[in-house]
Chains A and B, each alone.
Chain A
Amino acid sequence: MTDQVTRHELARMMAAAASRIREHQTQLSQLDCIAGDGDHGSAMLRTMNCLESTFNAETATDLKTIFCEAGWKVMGSDGGASSSLLGAFFLGIGEATKQDVSSWRCEDLAAAFRSGLEAVQLQTKARAGDKTMMDALTPAIEMFVASAQAGQLVTDALQAAAQAAKTGAESTANLIARYGRARQLGERTRGHPDPGATSIALIFEGFLEGFAESKGNDHD
């Protein structure tokens, strides 16, 4: 039973992800200054605060309701492109989740992540390699799905996903931006990782940490 994911575990995951973003807010905004307008850190923090409070609220245990509400709130947090895409991610998960489900196994979380990714892909043409958050989100979710299919536990699948997100985010330093505001900068964007991808890596790190904490075993 320890491998179950309910609102309780998700709340811990969101809280830990929000903490990671909070700790790195200044760094994320500074990265955004290179190619954007320098507000990625504060925009992501608004998004994460929405997620944290939605999953913390004791109002619902039904995962469909929580994820739809989270998606809607994130979209409404006015964080520009990142909140539109993350909002689509959580709303996509909510819409793909059956009514009255309050607990997921690893493969259910994998299916949920995949629905979220598909919802994001409907909203943006950017794909891995374009120096956007997709460079971290896509490999993280692919890795989680593959790990779940291989029969791994949630913790191990999250570990693999977090590593994939980190590698993906770091790889953006060598890329030239092709989407978003940064695309106009071309060569000038090389040498610095994409702030959106960096945020996704931090979020998955937080997911891993929060899930481990919720099960009472420190992962470090």
Chain B
Amino acid sequence: MKKFINRPENLVAELLEGLVLSHPTQIRLLGTNLVARAKPKAPGKVGVITLGGSGHEPGLSGFVGEGMLDVSVAGEIFAAPGAPRCLEAIRIADRGAGVLFIVLNHSGDVLSANMTMTLAQREKLNVKKIVTHEDIAGGPNPDDRRGLVGFLPVYKVAGAASEEGAHLDQCLAIAERMERNTRTLAVALTTATHPSTGQPIFSLEDDEMEIGMGQHGEAGTGRMKLKTANETAELMLQMLLDDLKVKSGEDLLVIVNGAGATTLMELFLVFRRVHQVLQERGIHLVRSKVGEFITTQEQGGFQLMISRMDAELLRLWDAPCNAPYFVVR
């Protein structure tokens, strides 16, 4: 393994320090490895928080900031943080109007979030939870679908709604509508190494790719010979459009998220083909993002995400936001 690290056991603390020190006007560290907004939200507004393992930068703590998340609970490398720190985050984020807890569907995160909810109810904290599960590789059962880059529009619209003064139930409803209308599919080319153990997290032959690979090398269903950017984009887009049942004339947000080692050059080739196909089908590509929002170290591959947008979701997506890795002015 070739990585610039100091001591593996200090990795998370040091990376969070670096993240916060490089964005001092937007975020700060609070409590035990909690990344929080530099300036707390106004009292009376709903707090929005999330949890997740580290090693996926800029996810998830890079999206803490005005108009998005209030607190992110960062775990160890690829491992969910425990309930005690999630409870701490809820207490910090609660400005008297309750807290929306956004959880990506991975078993460790969900277990920790469920435990947090049990403890929060005992403390009579006002918390609502939403689990994002838009990875269509998981099959038809929503519980089997993992949460991938689809967290991004969910954070964005929930954060924007809370800034507008929406109540907790309204923030939850918006987040749920965004989540229901989002689908993601991932493809992997090369493995990542676990930065603490130095072990590769999966293996693929040099001429292979795997569609459906999750954030941590969880296997997908489609191991096949490497295809071109156009062929891969077409194949994945078709699966997503079918699953979301997108019709001609509808409005889509498209995100191409690099897994860590795939170049922007390649991501642009993929996006270009997605754009062409949607245009041919009369589907409106109304908003887009191409870049790295959630990564897995030096894993090669990308996630393709589509969301069906309506007027309200678009307005919230466009609302001002000032997080280290997501700025809308």
Cβ of A78 and Cβ of B81 under 8 Å apart? yes
Cβ of B75 and Cβ of A78 under 8 Å apart? yes
Contacts of B217 in A (CB 8 A): 37
Please pick, from B79, B112, B115, the residue contacting A39 in the complex, using a CB distance under 8 A: B79
Contacts of A37 in B (CB 8 A): 78, 194, 201, 216-217
With A43-B79, A78-B76, A123-B114 given, can you name 16 additional A-B contacts, CB distance below 8 Å?
A33-B201, A37-B216, A38-B197, A38-B200, A72-B84, A75-B84, A76-B83, A76-B85, A78-B75, A78-B85, A81-B111, A85-B111, A122-B118, A183-B144, A184-B220, A185-B219
Chain B residue at minimum C-beta to C-beta distance from A178:
B144
Cβ of A181 and Cβ of B114 under 8 Å apart? no
Q: Is A188 interfacial (CB-CB < 8 Å)?
A: yes
A166 nearest CB across to chain B (Å): 24
Contacts of B248 in A (CB 8 A): none
Chain B residue at minimum C-beta to C-beta distance from A25:
B197
Interface residues of B in 174-204 (CB under 8 A from A): 194, 196-197, 199-201
B320 nearest CB across to chain A (Å): 33
Chain A residue at minimum C-beta to C-beta distance from B203:
A33
> Given A87-B115, A184-B218, is A78 in contact with B138 using a C-beta cutoff of 8 Å?
no
B257 nearest CB across to chain A (Å): 19
Cβ of B80 and Cβ of A78 under 8 Å apart? yes
Q: For the complex, what is the distance from the CA of A87 to the CA of B119, rounded to whole Å? A: 13
Cβ of B106 and Cβ of A29 under 8 Å apart? no
The 5 closest A-B pairs by CB, nearest first: A80-B108, A80-B79, A75-B82, A84-B111, A76-B84
Q: For the complex, what is the distance from the CA of A188 to the CA of B130, rounded to whole Å? A: 31
Q: Is B77 interfacial (CB-CB < 8 Å)?
A: yes
Q: Is A124 interfacial (CB-CB < 8 Å)?
A: yes
B120 nearest CB across to chain A (Å): 13
Interface residues of B in 80-114 (CB under 8 A from A): 80-85, 106-108, 111-112, 114
> Given A81-B107, A85-B111, A87-B115, is A36 in contact with B83 using a C-beta cutoff of 8 Å?
no
Q: Is A83 interfacial (CB-CB < 8 Å)?
A: yes
Please pick, from A83, A87, A181, A188, the residue contacting B216 in the complex, using a CB distance under 8 A: A181
Cβ of A39 and Cβ of B82 under 8 Å apart? no
Contacts of B81 in A (CB 8 A): 78
A71-102 vs B: 1/0 string, CB under 8 Å? 01011111111011101100000000000000
A186-209 vs B: 1/0 string, CB under 8 Å? 101000000000000000000000
Q: For the complex, what is the distance from the CA of A39 to the CA of B200, rounded to whole Å? A: 11
Contacts of A46 in B (CB 8 A): 76
Interface residues of A in 43-86 (CB under 8 A from B): 43, 46, 72, 74-81, 83-85
Q: For the complex, what is the distance from the CA of A76 to the CA of B88, rounded to whole Å? A: 11
Cβ of A39 and Cβ of B111 under 8 Å apart? no
Cβ of A80 and Cβ of B83 under 8 Å apart? no
Q: For the complex, what is the distance from the CA of A30 to the CA of B200, rounded to whole Å? A: 10
Q: For the complex, what is the distance from the CA of A203 to the CA of B48, rounded to whole Å? A: 38
Contacts of A39 in B (CB 8 A): 76-79, 194, 196-197
Q: Is A155 interfacial (CB-CB < 8 Å)?
A: no
Chain A residue at minimum C-beta to C-beta distance from B212:
A184
Contacts of A30 in B (CB 8 A): 199
Cβ of B115 and Cβ of A88 under 8 Å apart? yes
Contacts of A38 in B (CB 8 A): 194, 197, 199-201
> Which among B77, B78, B81, B107 has the highest number of chain A CB atoms within 10 Å?
B107
Cβ of B201 and Cβ of A184 under 8 Å apart? no
Q: Is B53 interfacial (CB-CB < 8 Å)?
A: yes
Chain A residue at minimum C-beta to C-beta distance from B88:
A76
Q: For the complex, what is the distance from the CA of A78 to the CA of B135, rounded to whole Å? A: 25
> Given A38-B194, A42-B197, A84-B83, is A185 in contact with B115 using a C-beta cutoff of 8 Å?
no
Contacts of B220 in A (CB 8 A): 184
Q: For the complex, what is the distance from the CA of A123 to the CA of B116, rounded to whole Å? A: 11
Cβ of B218 and Cβ of A84 under 8 Å apart? no
Cβ of B75 and Cβ of A80 under 8 Å apart? yes
Interface residues of B in 116-155 (CB under 8 A from A): 118, 137-138, 144
Q: Is A151 interfacial (CB-CB < 8 Å)?
A: no
Q: For the complex, what is the distance from the CA of A179 to the CA of B197, rounded to whole Å? A: 23
Contacts of B112 in A (CB 8 A): 75, 84
Q: For the complex, what is the distance from the CA of A186 to the CA of B111, rounded to whole Å? A: 21
Q: Is B214 interfacial (CB-CB < 8 Å)?
A: yes
Contacts of A78 in B (CB 8 A): 75-76, 79-82, 85
Give 5 pairs: A residue, B residue, CB < 8 Å, sorted on A: A33-B200, A39-B77, A78-B76, A81-B111, A83-B79
Please pick, from B75, B83, B108, B197, the residue contacting A29 in the complex, using a CB distance under 8 A: B197
Q: For the complex, what is the distance from the CA of A176 to the CA of B111, rounded to whole Å? A: 21
Contacts of B107 in A (CB 8 A): 81, 179-181
Contacts of A188 in B (CB 8 A): 219
